[in-house]
Structure 1
Amino acid sequence: MVPFSAEIDRAAVATWPATTVERVDGWLLRHCELLNRKRSNSAVPPERGVDGIERVEEFYAARGAAAIVQVSRPDRRADLDAALAERGYRLTGPTEVMFAEAEPVVDACSAGEFDVRLEESTGPSWLAAVEAVGGTPEPSLDRLPRARFAIASRGGLPVGVGMFAESAGWCGIYGMATHPDWRGRGVATGVLRAGARWASELGARLFLQVEEDNPGARRLYAALGFRTAHHYHYRVR
């Protein structure tokens, strides 16, 4: 386990929006009716112990939502994993958390023949770019405290997007998407280069979360200097 894995977990919570956040019995409970993503609608457990699961279930039941628990570093939380399994929680979404220093990533990424600009908000141009590359614009991203929204263009047309959000010296990489016609042509590295440069200016390290069933993305990030910090998965009741 990387010594700062806990720092990355805290930064991941801080750099992704939830409209409701409560702390109950050491649990961090997140709910966002605007976003259909587990990372916005899951509970982060205390570092030790399994008490309080009933309170977690009450929190989500009151909002008409399924109870979801993010089990980070499951090799260290076998007790929690087993307790959730016994209550009927199924395992889903195994994910690898990766990290890198920003400046080497800038050096490793080619700018390519793309114009990449970073916007300070989710304005109309970024939302339109997300749709243009085949993505779905997500609401509530304006809640991020410090973020940049990347648009890669070729000939004036959007070909890729990404989002970068910083907290406490860590910059999370989110929402990377490339138009199907432009995949494998360096769009993602161009977007990542721009975001990594911004993170470097802030003195921040980079981190990202990639599902384990996406080996292509994992290989790409590893080739650019990202290393494994730890893993997590979700338990859904």
Structure 2
Amino acid sequence: MRASETFELERAAVATWPATTVERRDGWLLRHCPLLARRRSNSALPLDPLADPEVVERFYAERSSPAIVQVSPLDERSELDALLAGRGYRAEASTMIMRTEREALLQACPPPSFEVRLDDAPAPRWLAAVADVGGRPEPSLDRVPAPVAFATALHGGVPVGVGMFAVADGWCGVYGMHTDAGWRRRGVAGSLLRAGAEWASAERVFLQVEADNSVARSRYESLGFIRAHAYHYRIR
């Protein structure tokens, strides 16, 4: 990807995931959300490869939170990554961002084998569906700005999979994909992704997957997703 596309994707990822505080300061995008335990909502994203980590440390100290940096894109932030390691930041949660085009995804996903219900808010029935399929319901997802869709795949009216789709800056972000253990490898994820792609107005789609989750990566690759870039977190 070109550097401009990488920045656009990063900006879309920030815009499609909630944080109560989002602040640009001295080469950093600083995010904090006490309602969510996710690193994604409580970490600093470097906008400048030479940004000073002390800015991050002061910001999170003021909020009695650990200083966390999302070192992204990792291959362009090696100098910063080494600096943070030298300051005692440990590396965690190596993650890959994957992307595809909307039309390519629609072609890769067959007509849905499951009914997919889309809600425009994290309604109680969607949160219940997340728990039913073995996922972890997230608080504060009502903060995700529209357009957003909370998807439930159903078989005979019973939830078998869930996901969330949010659009910003020409990208559709895919979050919280989870399939009931008894329904894996039976087309649930494909049905959810096709429904999300049909719903979304964006022409490009991205998702984030743990780098060591080879099963999920392989599944998404079979649907046309390719590696965009990688990141990990540095935690002091």
TM-score (norm 1): 0.95
Q: CA deviation at 1:112?
A: 4.2
Give secondary structure in 2 for the equivalent of 1:148.
Answer: strand
CA offset digits 1:181-210 (Å, max 9, x no partner): 1111111111111001112xx143101111
Match of 2:235 in 1: 236
Match of 1:185 in 2: 186
Structure 1 segments of 4+ aligned residues over 2 angstroms from their partners:
110-113
Contact 1:50 1:83 in 2 (8 A): no
Identity %: 60
Structure 1 unmatched runs, 5+: none
| Aligned residue pairs, count | 234
Match of 2:105 in 1: 105
Match of 1:44 in 2: 45
What amino acid sits opposite 2:74 in the alignment? P
Contact 1:50 1:79 in 2 (8 A): no
Query: What is the alpha-carbon distance in structure 1 between the residues aligned to residue 28 and residue 57 of structure 2?
Result: 12
TM-score (norm 2): 0.95
In the alignment, structure 1 residue 80 sits paired with structure 2 residue 86? no
Query: What is the alpha-carbon distance in structure 2 between the residues aligned to residue 50 and residue 104 of structure 1?
Result: 37
What amino acid sits opposite 1:167 in the alignment? A
1:12-161 alignment, distance < 5 Å: 12-51=13-52, 53-145=53-145, 146-161=147-162
Query: What is the alpha-carbon distance in structure 2 between the residues aligned to residue 216 and residue 150 of structure 1?
Result: 22
Structure 2 unmatched runs, 5+: none
Query: What is the alpha-carbon distance in structure 1 between the residues aligned to residue 235 and residue 170 of structure 2?
Result: 31
CA offset digits 1:4-44 (Å, max 9, x no partner): 11110110000000011122212111111111111111001
Tell me whether 100-109 or 166-175 shows the greater mean CA deviation.
100-109
Contact 1:95 1:209 in 2 (8 A): yes
CA-atom RMSD in angstroms: 1.2
Q: CA deviation at 1:134?
A: 1.0
1:186-225 alignment, distance < 5 Å: 186-199=187-200, 202-225=201-224
Query: What is the alpha-carbon distance in structure 2 between the residues aligned to residue 125 and residue 2 of structure 1?
Result: 41
